[in-house]
Structure 1
Amino acid sequence: EGNAKKEGSLIQTAYELGVPIFCPAFVDSSAGFGLVKHQKERAAAGQPYMMLDAIADFRELTDIKIAAGTTGLFMVGGGVPKNFAQDTVVCAEILGIEADMHKYAVQITVADVRDGACSSSTLKEAASWGKVSTTYEQMVFAEATTVVPLIGSDAYHRGAWKGRAPRRWQSLFETK
């Protein structure tokens, strides 16, 4: 034990570092059934119940995009989470705020567009909507569990992160 650092979960580490976590399709899961049951039962009993606010999540992620300026996306898989992150540029513009496209984008997926998978949208398609720059984008057609550890290990060992100050994006939403 001694000076050994105890490792926590990814969720715990994100919390400790002030990194918000968004899960835009959370109710599209078995947990969603439990939340519906929770709301119905608590409402029937006249008790408070849990409420998820997907609109606030989208607004907050857009606020992070606006505050960050130059951004990049590292997407594992696709679907709703991919579009949720990419669409922050469009949402900012709808709010009347000029936001640069995501400068960097990597998507790791086994899906392709032939059968409507990959949300029928590669990163080049996202560029046509003004979401992602095609200067530094890469589609990686591979199974995520085989390549994400390699990419993560490479990024960690290159060490560029060591000189960066933590961003603590959660602080944008804390009331004073």
Structure 2
Amino acid sequence: KRRSRIGWSSRITENAKRTGVVYLGGGVPKNFIQQTAVIASYQTRHDRSHNYAVQITTDSPHWGGLSGGTFEEAQSWGKIHRRAGKVTCFADATIALPIIVHALSEKFKRLRREVPIFEWGKNGELKLRYETMRL
């Protein structure tokens, strides 16, 4: 059975305990990930807003485009949870992302956490399990 990409991603959002998003820039990719929360909430009748959000962008909110859109705007549509942990970094992603990843890998060298493992069945059902891994 063939499913759309948005169908697959919204199923992941439906079945996850908590979700987080990282936006590099904006536009269509940002909208695609944001709408998974809205679709998952509609399909399950439960709030499936993203719990964590990071945005790295060079665009400013005052131009009105999605690339510079604020998390407050996303919260008004139910895309980001109203109590979500969120941060926006106004910088070029090719500069900011390597610095952020390096800093996080240094800070959490010994951290162990549950990582989601997604398994798709032949009939399109999603099985989600977690494995403890060292980062």
| Shorter-normalised TM range | 0.7 to 0.9
Are 1:174 and 2:121 an aligned pair?
A: yes
The secondary structure found in structure 2 opposite 1:114 is: helix
Q: Which structure: greater strand fraction? A: 2
What are structure 1's unaligned runs of at least 5 residues? 1-52
Q: How does 1:154-169 map to 2 (within 5 A)?
A: 154-159=103-108, 162-169=111-118
Moved over 4 A (4+): none
Relative to 1, partners in 2 of residues 1:75 and 1:89: Cα closer, same or farther, differing over 3 Å?
same
Offset of 1:91 from its aligned partner? 0.2
Relative to 1, partners in 2 of residues 1:163 and 1:71: Cα closer, same or farther, differing over 3 Å?
same
The aligned length equals 121
User: Match for 1:146 among 72, 87, 95?
Assistant: 95
Q: Which structure: greater helix fraction? A: 1
The secondary structure found in structure 2 opposite 1:70 is: coil
Query: What percent of counterpart residues are identical?
Result: 32
2:77 corresponds to: 129
CA distance in 2 between partners of 1:156 and 1:131 (Å): 28
Query: Alignment RMSD, CA only?
Result: 2.3
What are structure 2's unaligned runs of at least 5 residues? 124-135
Q: Deviations over 1:122-175 (max 9, x none)?
A: 111001111113541112111111110011112222227841233122x1x232
Relative to 1, partners in 2 of residues 1:114 and 1:161: Cα closer, same or farther, differing over 3 Å?
farther
8 Å contact from structure 2 (residues 37, 79) kept in 1? yes
Amino acid at match of 1:138: V
8 Å contact from structure 2 (residues 26, 68) kept in 1? no
Are 1:108 and 2:64 an aligned pair?
A: no
Relative to 1, partners in 2 of residues 1:150 and 1:134: Cα closer, same or farther, differing over 3 Å?
farther
Relative to 1, partners in 2 of residues 1:79 and 1:161: Cα closer, same or farther, differing over 3 Å?
farther
Are 1:95 and 2:95 an aligned pair?
A: no
| Superposition TM-score, scaled by structure 1 size | 0.60
Q: Which has the larger radius of gyration?
A: 1
